[in-house]
Structure 1
Amino acid sequence: MQALVAAAGVKPVFVEAVDGSKLSASAMLPWRRNEKRALLNTGEVGCLLSHVSVWERIVREGIDHAVVLEDDLVISPTFRQILLRIGDLPDFDLLRLETDRSPIVFRHECELEIAGHCVHKLLRGATRTGGYAISRRGAHRLLANFNDFEQAVDVEMFNPRRSVVDRLDMLQLVPAICVQAELVPGIAMQAPYLSSGIDTLGQRADTRLGKRRPTNPTAMESIRAVLRPIKRVAVNMLIRPLGQTERPIPLIDFSSPHWAVRNNTAKSSSALR
């Protein structure tokens, strides 16, 4: 990540991530106080606390805006142009810079064009926290609700239907300029230092609550997979008159070798000013 960001002409500030597997029993106790919180595994708690430490630094140091990049992220050559224009945006809490190619709901209207990208109002459905910009106001709002968080950090940030945060002004960059390395075919072999350090299986309540996430799709999940495209068409028919759309966010072309910079040192979550 250090080499990728440096190649974009940006000097990063590295923030040491929290390793959830090394948290003491007493540190994990607040995350076991009810059944919902107990569903978070140590990796998810560590990831959440890592982002919280960045938000706290933004508030403490009075930083107007910061861009947060996790250590397993692939970034676009246009990263610097986007970074330089964030201050031109209207008041916002979060600007999502990445995509996981899952459909999200956002407004048709482009609020601002930056270096060939459009900024849209993000409404719901986004996942992952690999790359986003956050304002000091957004950091304040998230920290004000932190003690009541019961979901993974991406849910609390980007899914108002499930989050305890009342309201966040969220934006989405289209096309996205970054993606987590696990979603780019072959990247793990070419750049193993971009591998995620978080438990990918996310076994949450298995031994503690007698529950397990299925490793194979259930019959209902298979049916849902077939019905999902039909549902998306139906949803779009309903929300388009409201100026909204539900679709995956495209990723800017990564055919350039820019992102495949070799680096022998893996770093933790980083906040860029």
Structure 2
Amino acid sequence: MHVVPLPALADNYIWLLHDDDGQALVVDPGEAAPVERALAAHGWRLRGILLTHHHPDHVGGAPALRERHGAPVYAPDDERIDVATHRVGDGDRIGFDAPAAGFDVVAVPGHTLSHVAYVGEGLLFCGDTLFSLGCGRLFEGTPAQMLASLDRLASLPGDTRVCCGHEYTAQNGRFALTVDPANEALRARVDEVARQRAAGMPSVPVPLASELACNPFLRTGSAAVAAWSGAGDRVARFAALRSAKDAFA
């Protein structure tokens, strides 16, 4: 199974998976055109659409893709996603014959209350819950909910490749260095991202192990984050991180 990040809108990624026979899936198509171009360029055939949450920049292209290709649309049980043909929830398993792929559904409330992630084929499609070196804003959930969601994702195998919804890594890295400036793994990751972006390359996917070493939102139990925040418990530390990041220029 091959995974391709398709740049879309201002800074989104649409994730396209395909096998060697040209069978394809797409995750969070915020617009249809990048998907249609990729399918046409390679002769791939769209067999399924997976949506993580209801925001327009993640679902906007799904109606046109569903109509043109007749592909089923898997989405959380949220009436704001009216294009869904299949509703999914925590613990569900989605399987495809072509391409031969399977994904577990993980509920990750925080960014939105109905947000889900899809885990399978060594990949994590986490929408706007987890970003490289950051996490999503809390539009609907609480700090405790988001921290619990991140903890669930952090428990996945370290070689899982994180496929998030936006190219935010460089800015996230600048903030992370204000929290954990002595973290050598973080400094190396920030340098790597600078090289990737200068070369016109995406900064993701990235192994989860890298995020566990570098991402302050996954390191609320660390001495560095505790010292930076001055808070005694992990929820309060996370809330301090998220508040500071919201105000970070």
Greater relative CO (CA pairs within 8 A, separation 6+): 1
Question: Higher helix fraction: Structure 1 or Structure 2?
Answer: 1
- TM-score normalised by the chain length of structure 1: 0.23
- TM-score normalised by the chain length of structure 2: 0.25
Larger radius of gyration: 1
